[in-house]
């Protein structure tokens, strides 16, 4: 009962615009999850493999990376190492949202397991502690449920789909994230930081294995940190998608 009351409180705390954006991102992720389940099964894996992986790992990029290694003939050690490398970015994310996952060990454990780029992004969108906490948990829980349901659907349908790449399902996720990012790029400091990070990642992608270019893109923060502050001006954390 207390859990249900807590969820109701979170839903009431999240503002309408944020809730709308969370729903859009979760729906886009669900499409990608269907693709993941279908690709795994059509590649020769048993349906339970992508389902269990999604429940225990719950990291879309890492799951796709590990799946690619396995389908290419790589061993489980290489697949796990690839996933861990790609998910290394979540370590600094954890410090950034440490205040929203609670103080009890079990809430921290659950919050860490449900941590995704999307949940962190929506939490950092707000400066108010209650809004940050509500946005994080609503996004995390909704995404966990929809992602796993969609993976089951994709796994069950995987045997009936030939080449899943022709559907272009993998394009839905980055397209929605780009749409959510565009309003923040109106700030010159954020735009310079993003461009520098993107340039570094693209250059590094030609020489380094998957995962490392994304981490190196963090050097783009240098442009943001070196930006001169005028009269204590700061980037508004409450930017919204109009």
Where does residue 162 rank: exposed (0-12), middle (13-18), buried (19+ CB within 10 A)? exposed
Rounded to whole angstroms, how far apart are CA atoms 177 and 197? Answer: 16
Name the DSSP letter for residue 227: S
Rg (C-alpha) for the chain, rounded Å, is: 19
Does 149 score more than 90 pLDDT? yes
- Token pair recorded at residue 91: 């370590």
Average pLDDT, the chain: 77
Going from the C-alpha of 178 to that of each of 13, 15, 28, 124, 173, the distances in angstroms are 26, 21, 12, 17, 9
Enter the tokens of residue 30. Answer: 């669900």
Model confidence, pTM:
0.69
Q: For residues 181 and 44, what is the distance between their CA atoms, to the nearest angstrom? A: 36
How many angstroms from the chain centroid is the CA of residue 188? 24
Q: In the chain, what are the domain boundaries?
A: 2-171, 179-242
Three-class SS of residue 51?
Answer: helix
What is the C-alpha separation between 241 and 176, in angstroms, rounded?
Answer: 11
pLDDT for res 241: 38
Give the C-alpha separation, 58 to 144, whole Å: 7
How many CB atoms neighbour CB 49 within 10 A?
Answer: 17
CA distance 74 to 176: 31
Check the CA dihedral 239-215-177-116 and report its sign: negative
pLDDT over 90 at 59, yes or no = no
* H helical segments located in the chain: 2-13, 16-42, 48-56, 60-71, 76-86, 90-96, 105-113, 117-124, 129-157, 172-181, 188-205, 212-216, 221-225
Q: Determine the Cα–Cα distance for residues 162 and 157; give it in Å rounded to an integer.
A: 10
CB 226 within 8 A of CB 2: no
Q: To the nearest whole percent, how much of the chain has pLDDT over 90?
A: 16
For residues 102-132, one letter each, b for 16 or more C-beta atoms within 10 angstroms of the residue's C-beta and e for the rest, the string is eeeeeeeebbeebbbebbbbbbbbbeeeebb
* Interval 69-115: pLDDT, tens: 787 777 788 788 877 877 877 888 888 888 888 888 888 899 999 99
What pLDDT digit, counting tens, does each position of 26-55 carry?
Answer: 988 898 888 888 888 887 888 999 999 999
């Amino acid at each position: 009962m207390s859990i249900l009351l807590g969820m109701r409180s979170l839903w009431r705390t999240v503002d309408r615009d944020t809730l709308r954006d969370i729903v859009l991102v979760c729906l886009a992720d669900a499409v990608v999850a269907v693709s993941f389940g279908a690709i795994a099964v059509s590649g020769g894996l048993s349906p339970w493999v992508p389902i269990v992986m999604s429940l225990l790992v719950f990291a879309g990029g890492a799951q796709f990376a590990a799946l690619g290694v396995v389908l290419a003939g790589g061993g489980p050690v290489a697949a796990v190492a690839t996933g861990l490398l790609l998910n290394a970015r979540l370590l600094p994310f954890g410090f950034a949202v440490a205040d929203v996952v609670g103080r009890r060990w079990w809430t921290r454990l659950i919050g860490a397991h449900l941590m995704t780029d999307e949940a962190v992004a929506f939490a950092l969108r707000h400066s108010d502690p209650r809004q940050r906490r509500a946005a994080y948990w609503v996004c995390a829980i909704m995404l966990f449920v929809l992602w796993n349901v969609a993976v089951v659907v994709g796994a069950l349908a995987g045997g009936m789909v030939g080449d899943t790449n022709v559907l272009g399902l993998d394009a839905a996720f980055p397209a929605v994230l780009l749409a959510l990012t565009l309003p923040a790029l109106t700030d010159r400091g954020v735009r310079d930081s993003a461009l520098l990070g993107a340039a570094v990642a693209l250059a590094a992608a030609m020489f380094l294995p998957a995962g490392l270019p994304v981490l190196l893109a963090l050097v783009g923060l240098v442009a943001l940190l070196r930006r001169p502050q005028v009269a204590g001006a700061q980037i508004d954390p409450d930017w919204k998608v109009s």
